[in-house]
Structure 1
Amino acid sequence: MQVYINGRFLVQRITGVQRFAREIIKMLDHQLDIKCTILVPSEFQGWDSFQNIKIKKIGKLSGHLWEQLELPLYVKGRPLINLCNTGPVFKRNQIITIHDAAVYASPQGFSKLFRVWYKTMFFFFRLLSRKILTVSEFSKNELVKYLKVNSDKLKTISEGKEHFDKIKEDDSILPKMKLKKNCYILAVSSMNPNKNFQTLVETTQYLKDESFEIVIAGGTDCRVFNRVNLTNENIKHAGYVTDEELKSLYMHAGCFVFPSVYEGFGLPPLEAMSVGCPILVSNVGPMPEVAGEAAVYFNPYDSKDLAQKIKYVMNNDEVKNKLKEAGLKQADKFSWKTVATQLIGHIKQLDL
């Protein structure tokens, strides 16, 4: 069985959806049922070597033009797998992974051009694509609500956490940012307003008498997301960090806070749990699916509630230890190997 994989994600900065794609590809490389070739734009400069998967450069264009014109022209009627929200709009024999319905449910976080283009793509995916995958029951329900996708076409797969197991932490980030172990609260993600980091800013007014700091790791793409005002002397911005630095920040944080008001899945809380970091997550969206009983939940629209929950965790070692143990057990339920197996099952339903 021969399938092609849309490899545009290999020339993009790694965020949650690109991480999702890369980790699945690594697992697909260990199976022999399906022969996979990743098609990439000419700008591709190289990535991990594979045992069984081939990488092939095609075309001369880049970005959406490459994806809409040169990619489908090369693939023609053969099966194509798209893992990162986008793909050729007029192709039928393909699988599209749509990670969330944020452009419908929470459009204020995106530029007008971004919203129009993604809604256009999603409309044609609903009509033409053989199958649509998403990453949580919450996201599935949202896509049914906004896109009116037939339940037979829309299926769920999960996410995993093994990528963190292989990373060696880089503790140099701590002295670089003047951080003390277990004396800071960590938040991680892009500065999309849906991530609701503004609530963290408001929370600091209730934490003035506490000795811990708040650290936000991650960047912002102002071409896509509207600006978020996060100016506050009690918050340290780490910006983009390496995977090794990020693992260290997770491992040595007093707790991890995820105040997002809209997610398709929520990979950062899973990463935090996988290294034993106590987590506090919002009580909306897919968070109960991801964190189960291994988290302290808070109202993401109530900064006072968040502040109280932060104090409860940060000032109670027994609570921290229970959350750590529960988080490790919860994280073990998620595996990229399982996700790859799920994907293979869906691939076999295409015209191969």
Structure 2
Amino acid sequence: MITLNGRFLTQGLTGVQRYAREITAALDALAARGEAPPMTLLAPPGASGLEAFRHLAPRTAGSRGGQAWEQWALPRAAEGLLLNLGNTGPLLAGRRQAVVIHDAGVFDTPESYGWKFRLWYRVMQRGLARRGARILSVSEFSAGRIAAALDIPRADIGVTLEGGEHILREAADTGVLTRHGLEPGRYALVIGTGAAHKNLGIVRRAMAAQGLVLAVAGAKDAAVFRTGEADAGGEVRALGRVSDAELRALYENALTLLFPSRYEGFGLPPLEAMWCGCPVIAARAGAVPEVCGEAALWFDPDTPDALGEAIATLATDATRRQSFIAAGRARAADFSWEAAARRLLGFVTT
């Protein structure tokens, strides 16, 4: 028996929760076909969306939510192996659990997190490793960094990878372009949060030199692109949070996805972009080279001029842009949520 930690069903949708939801959906599909061991999805009170995973015998337990539920109620109610998909797990479950840790960011890029969050994650993840929990991750890069941070052998960490085909699940909502005054092929897309390691400050000047609009999905306002200079230039459209249907339309009509992050545990936006036929310009850093291979146009994250040159290449050379689109689609086909779920099961059932 495997018990899935369903705490993610009470949380907002970020990359980690996306992974948890898509992996759980893939496991549900495998269970429906009789291709998975017995599993149950256990969630806190108030969890939404349990009905979407009916082949995993979903149920709730306990009377509280959050960390209290995960640390106290979950290990008492779980049967068999407890599988945690979102960076955290109950210390009380010890070695009868597996935990997917997506990156070692709280150790490697501490400036991107508040001190309370950083301290708790460091203490909890080190405690999980010391108590014998099986540690998994989503990329070779992350596995290596986690092994170093938690002082465990790299060979003991399984790598599941991720998928990106979910972005094609809904029809593209092209109304998002009209609402924000975006012309197809005349804007570059950034998925932005403003975290320090996302390295968004170098983007605006590079865009201004090309006379293109910068569309920022996920950012609350354009302030995350302030460079400290009096005139950074360039037009920025802050789109805020967008739906998957809107995001698909943004990918499909953008000149390119810009992904300047210095540190990524996987890099889901580039994979989504490649599924949608959007060429990717990315900093060669973190796990992103594992995801994109030679299907992206790379630049040095410490050299803003290199980013400008890469944007100019896609803006002026239609043949080369099409070659990156084709390469991206071929590369994306190597990643799927079903394949990731099967890899995950392979690690926890042997």
Give the alignment's TM-score, normalised by structure 1: 0.92
Contact kept, 8 Å, 2:204 with 2:214, in 1: the verdict is no
SS across alignment from 1:307: helix
Number of matched pairs: 338
Structure 1 match to 2:253: 252
Q: What SS class does the counterpart of residue 29 from structure 1 fall into?
A: helix
Partner-residue secondary structure (3-state), 1:30: helix
The letter for the 2-side match of 1:216 is V
Candidates 72, 75, 87, aligned match of 1:72: 75
Say whether the 8 Å CA contact 1:5–1:81 is kept in structure 2. Answer: yes
Partner of 1:86: 88
Alpha-carbon distance, 1:202 to partner: 4.1
Structure 1 match to 2:319? 318
* 1:11 corresponds to: 10
Answer whether contact 2:201 2:224 (CA < 8 A) is retained: yes
Q: 1:214 to 1:24 in 2, by over 3 A?
A: same
Out of 160-169 and 259-268, give the one that drifted further.
Answer: 160-169
Partner in structure 1 of residue 202 of structure 2: 199
The corresponding residue for 1:290 is: 291
> What TM-score results when the alignment is normalised by the length of structure 2?
0.92
Query: Retained in 2: the 8 A contact 1:95–1:129?
Result: no
Per-residue CA deviation, residues 210-237 of structure 1 (Å, 9 max, x unaligned), is 33211110147xxxxxx97434762111
**3-state secondary structure, aligned to 1:44:** coil
Q: Residues 81 and 237 from structure 1, CA distance in 2 versus in 1: closer, same or farther, beyond 3 angstroms?
A: same
Deviations 1:249-279 (A, max 9, x none): 0000011110000011000000000110011
8 Å Cα contact 2:212/2:235 also seen in 1: no
Cα distance in 1 between the residues matched to 2:120 and 2:22: 27
Task: Percent identity, please.
Answer: 35
Equivalent residue in structure 1 for 2:40, among 29, 37, 40: 37
Deviation above 4 Å: which 4+ runs of structure 1?
none
RMSD (Å) for aligned C-alpha atoms: 1.7
Structure 1: runs of 5+ lacking an equivalent? 221-226
Aligned residue identity for 1:284: A
Tell me the alpha carbon deviations over residues 176-213 of structure 1, each in whole angstroms, 9 at most, x when there is no partner: 00000011000114332211111213434xx34x3321
- Aligned amino acid, residue 39 of structure 1: L
8 A contact 1:189–1:195 mirrored in 2: yes
Residue 105 of structure 1, CA deviation: 0.8
Aligned-partner Cα distance in 1 for 2:237–2:50:
32
The answer for unaligned runs of 5 or more in structure 2 is 227-231
Residue 145 of structure 2 corresponds to residue 117 of structure 1: no
Q: CA deviation at 1:46?
A: 2.9
For residue 58 of structure 2, give the secondary structure of its aligned residue in structure 1.
Answer: strand
Q: C-alpha distance in 2, partners of 1:46/1:265?
A: 26
Residue 112 (structure 2) pairs with residue 106 (structure 1): no
Residue 58 of structure 2 is aligned to residue 63 of structure 1? no
Greater RCO (Cα-Cα under 8 Å, separation 6 or more): 1
Say if 2:258 and 2:282, in contact at 8 Å, map to a contact too: yes
- Residue pairs, 1:296-307, within 5 angstroms: 296-307=297-308
> Paired residue for 1:21?
20
